[in-house]
Chain A
Amino acid sequence: SQQGEEDPQALSIQEGENATMNCSYKTSINNLQWYRQNSGRGLVHLILIRSNEREKHSGRLRVTLDTSKKSSSLLITASRAADTASYFCAEDSNYQLIWGAGTKLIIKP
Chain B
Amino acid sequence: SQTIHQWPATLVQPVGSPLSLECTVEGTSNPNLYWYRQAAGRGLQLLFYSVGIGQISSEVPQNLSASRPQDRQFILSSKKLLLSDSGFYLCASGGRNTEAFFGQGTRLTVV
Contacts and interface: CB of A to CB of B under 8 A. Distances in A.
Interface in B21-76: 32, 34, 41-44, 46, 49, 51, 59
Contacts of B98: 48
Interface string A67-104: 00000000000000000000010101001110111101
A95 B97 CA distance: 10
A109 interface: no
A87 to B, nearest CB: 11
A97 B96 CA distance: 7
Interface of B: 4, 6, 32, 34, 41-44, 46, 49, 51, 59, 88, 90, 92, 95-105, 107
A43 B46 contact: no
Contacts, number: 64
B43 A43 contact: no
Question: How many A residues are at the interface, by size bracket?
Answer: 20 to 34
A33 to B, nearest CB: 7
A45 interface: yes
